[in-house]
Structure 1
Amino acid sequence: MTASTASTAEKYRPSLHFSAQDTWVNDPNGLIYHDGLYHLYYQNNPFGNVWGNMSWGHATSPDLLSWTRHPVAIACDENEDIFSGSIVFDKENTSGFGTSESAPLIAFYTSAYKPGNARHGIQAQSVAYSLDGGYSWSKHSGNPVIDRNSPEFRDPKVFRYSSAETSYWVMVTVEAQDHQVVLYKSENLLDWQYLSTFGPANATSGVWECPDLFELPVDGGANGSKWVLVVNLNPGGPNNGSAGQYFVGQFDGTTFTSESTVTEGRSDNERLNDYQWLDWGRDYYAAVSFGDVPDGRRLMISWMNNWEYANQIPTSPWRSPMSLAREVTLQTIDGAPRLVQKPAFDPKNELGSTQNFGLDSVQLDDEVRVLDQAGGAVQRIELSVTPGTANEVGLVVRGGQAEGTRIGVNVEQSALFVDRRNSGESDFHESFASLDKAPILPLNGSYELTIFVDHCSVEIFAQGGSVTITDLIFPSPESIDLSLYATGGSAQFSNVDVVRFY
């Protein structure tokens, strides 16, 4: 089944984002490109739309936009829940699970052992394998493959490390409560040797989860390469609740050394703006990257929700979408390599559109202007804003008589923000209505924004993707107005381009 427009019964069902048919979704798992398709596995409750009965759901896509849902891939049983993990293609059959006709896909997942099992209360790393391209899976009879006798040891991300001297598999895991990333190596994906531990570092107000480690060229390779370590955090994000942070540094095959750890002696809360965040919004969590992507691109996807209110968001019968897939690169910003993100695809090319709206330039002076014929529920909006004397500039999406989501820049505070306090349905949880901010500076006096609006979300890519904010919203289906505004003075809006889908 492909992405669909919202119906009366499912008014918040996204069109540009993946959602399950009628069950619960959280962390993306096992992301891999294989046999011409992107495979998205994910934490799934096959029996309901709240967290529980953790298993791996499965969907595939040729373009990261239109998804086909498949039966549950790896199911929980009476002994264990199937927590988060990753998949590799063992093309050399180092594991021995393959046949002469078929090299295996190997899934690594966290076994969360249930009451009645001898390991009850323990989390350990286990293996399953597939010989049919990822559609059916068999658990390894020798599970678990790593057991530290720990209750909070989880989320294995496995990749192949290669240098001029050697090549082997590396597993990146976390001891969640200890704020530590723990690394192992293996020749055969089954027998693992401890390498090193990283952390605690930077944000530690919540547990560490869902790590990832990968190498990227800096400035397209002009300035060599660096390694990026991603660690998701819950709670303790820059705007409360769940979030993802990252570190930039070096990995020598044994140890990751961060070059972006903040060491000043202020408290964690005072340093939040100094840390490197994948996204500054409330609803971008458990982000991990795909393996084996063509052309070596690094693509990531996240769970678009927040553990503060995840079980309460008003979607039915499904609950929780995934984010748009993003391509991440390293670019030098203010003298240091930083992640820059952009959508992995252009939905206009993939989906077409039902409406295009363009505006070369408009000057506003302490006013709001509704853009007639530009409204919509599912849109990509691009524009440049140059403040004159205005102290706040921006736009309102999904506007109606009594609601709207404000996306703007507070010029005096150098802050990009999403204000969803009047965005629609928000009383399902006390912490949902929020004003979420990210630090931002003008480029040549202007702010460049690309915004994706869907039936239940906004994703903002600012200044070429160096700053992003992702937030859920739940507006009335009738609220589709789009307007620009300037507060306290003048501002110029230029190169306004709006594409409405479906």
Structure 2
Amino acid sequence: MYYQEPHRPQIHFTPKENWINDPNGLVYFEGEYHLFYQRNPYGNDHDHMHWGHAVSSDLFHWEELDIALAPDELGTIFSGSAVVDKDNTSGLFEEGSGGLVAIFTHDGQSQQQSIAYSSDKGRTWKKYIGNPVIENTTIKDFRDPKVFWHKETEKWMMVLACGDHIQIYGSPNLIDWEYLSSFGKEYPSHEGVWECPDLVCLPIEGTDDSIWVLIVSMNEGGPNGGSAVQYFTGSFDGIFFRPNEQAEDPVKWADEGKDFYAAITWDNTAKTYWIGWMNNWEYAGEVPVSPWRSSMSLVRTLTVQQVKGDYLLKQTPVIPENQQKQLQEEPFTVQPSAYLEYEIKLPVTINVETKEIPNSGQWGFRLISDQEEIFTFHFDQEKDVYFFSRTAGILDFSKDFSKEITGSLKGQKVKNIFSILDQSSVEIFVNDGLSVSTNLFYPRGSIEKMQLYTEKEEVPFNGLSLEEYQSIWK
């Protein structure tokens, strides 16, 4: 029965069957959040790329719809974005009306940018008769257009991935595009091809200011190997993106886990939301799941926080108010080598508020299955790091399925840890989402216990809450 298979996520979007990867065409329109995505409707590998389609009213419960865009004589349908052309700047809609416009990469003899439009809330699409709208015969990797309206210049802007850099284009009508500028050749990292860019203006928390953030996915060279998402903060004047960072500065990672990629933001929303593909190109085609392959992360709200003179991305998961089983515990202390144990049933959220974190030794929590498999999150404040150990469960499908994954605390004392556990994934948000780690894991049994522990010094906590969630598929 669909959605009841082993390791099937219960609160993360997956298709009924077959392959998915990058989220595409994220847009809010007339009461619906649209999630398009890379889709092979014929099998469990990356091939025959279409745009799949799902909708939601709350960014949590999803309804899978029919294929939105299919391959044609110009090629298969690679990644892209969608916008609300409310003023009919494109002229593609009836006079006095607007609609949705999708901007995507045609992958054929070369990669070129094309558009399609919908007048029925994204249920059916017509491809523009003049495609491609940006031709290309010289650049091998020339893809993943992310488009937004720039009100200061009253133009549509496009950021486009071009192998080792990002190109920026402008258009009055989504059809006629002018090259404006490039960014990134001089910046790290270039171990892998740059993909799935986004350029968004985000509020700086605690101020009335905002800052531009350029997001770039990189298919190799992530902090724990393989694919990951980096970002730059700076300014954008409608032509040039100018970063705060210097070219020699360390890379900023949006998520330091192993399994968060190709994340982009929604168009036409008051707050800024994004979602990522929960997998890694090192082993995406080998993960031990069927009849579907791959899932999306939970949706997250994006803001920026200034920390010690730097601008850091802050991510808050979108979780609806819960009516299921809840456990709340008042202040307590965990003693060395004395595990504090709780029974849990996935999917579940674990929220821990810390009090005084020890400067030496490791502490954290362990997940234990009914087959005595142990998966551990442990923190080391002195070394400014935390680890996720997935040394148990199914591991033999890929040599690249890293067993221990590290993340940075970014020089901050641990104040809180919010973890979201599903049947085969964990998303952990440290210090209100200033540090995030998303990772897959594949227990042979069912996770049934969570234990808090400390190795050397006692750890006092201000509180803990556990909340179990019903499947979104019931």
Instruction: Identify the TM-score tier after normalising by the shorter chain.
Output: over 0.9
The secondary structure found in structure 2 opposite 1:238 is coil
The one of 48, 52, 55 equivalent to 2:50 is 55
Contact 1:5 1:13 in 2 (8 A): no
The aligned counterpart of 1:418 is: 388
For structure 1, list consecutive stretches of 5 or more residues without a partner in the other structure: 114-119, 265-273
**Normalization by structure 1: what TM-score?**
0.89
The corresponding residue for 2:267 is 291
Question: Which residue pairs with 2:202 in the alignment?
Answer: 216
Q: Does the CA-based 8 Å contact 1:377-1:477 persist in structure 2?
A: no
Q: Secondary structure at the match of 1:143?
A: coil
Q: Deviation per CA, 1:263-291, whole angstroms, max 9, x where unpaired?
A: 16xxxxxxxxx321110001000000000
Q: CA deviation at 1:146?
A: 0.5
Question: Is 1:450 paired with 2:418?
Answer: yes
CA distance in 1, matches of 2:384, 2:306: 20
1:434 to 403, 414, 417: 403
Aligned counterpart for 2:345 among listed residues 376, 381, 391:
376
Cross-structure match for 1:187:
172
Amino acid in structure 1 at the alignment position of 2:399: E
State how 1:449-468 maps to structure 2 within 5 Å: 449-468=417-436
**SS of the residue aligned with 1:72?**
coil
Of residues 268, 281, 294, the one that matches 2:257 is 281
- Structure 1 CA distance, aligned partners of 2:333 and 2:312? 33
1:20 aligns with 2:15: yes
SS of equivalent residue, structure 1 residue 495: strand
**Residue 167 (str. 1) matches residue 154 (str. 2):** yes
Partner of 1:335: 309
| Equivalent residue letter for 2:311 | P
* Percent of paired sites with the same residue: 38
Equivalent residues in 2 for 1:235-274, closer than 5 Å: 235-263=220-248, 274=250
Equivalent residues of 2:371, 2:445 under 8 A apart: no
Cα distance change, pair 356–261 in 1 and its aligned pair in 2 (3 A): same
Residue in structure 2 matching 1:321, options 295, 298, 305 = 295
Equivalences for residues 35-114 of structure 1 within 5 A = 35-77=30-72, 79-100=74-95, 102-113=97-108
Distance 1:12 1:486 in 2: 30
Q: CA deviation at 1:440?
A: 0.9
* Map of 1:156 onto structure 2: 145
Match of 2:326 among 328, 353, 356: 356
Q: Is the 2:348–2:422 Cα contact (8 Å) retained in structure 1?
A: yes
Question: 1 or 2, which has the higher helix percentage?
Answer: 1
| Residues 1:24 and 1:180: Cα distance change in structure 2 (over 3 Å) | same
Instruction: Pick which of 69-78 and 208-217 moved more.
Output: 69-78
| Residues in 2 aligned to 1:281 and 1:33: alpha-carbon distance in whole angstroms | 28
Q: How many angstroms does 1:77 deviate by?
A: 3.4
Tell me by how many angstroms 1:35 deviates.
0.9
Q: With structure 2 as the length reference, what TM-score do the two structures score? A: 0.95
Which residue is 2:281 aligned to? Answer: 307
1:210 deviates by 0.1
Name the counterpart of 1:473.
441
CA contact (8 A) 2:283 2:398 kept: yes
Query: What is aligned with 2:183?
Result: 198
Distance 2:74 2:156 in 1: 28
Question: Match of 2:136, SS?
Answer: strand
Structure 1 SS opposite 2:131? coil
Deviation at 1:438, TM superposition (A): 1.4
Q: Is the 8 A contact 1:370 1:481 kept in 2?
A: no
Contact 1:448/1:462 (8 A) holds in 2: yes
Q: Is the 8 A contact 1:226 1:249 kept in 2?
A: yes
Aligned partner of residue 302 in structure 2, secondary structure: strand
The equivalent residue for 1:267 is: none
Aligned-partner Cα distance in 1 for 2:2–2:437: 23
Determine the structure 1 residue equivalent to 2:121.
133
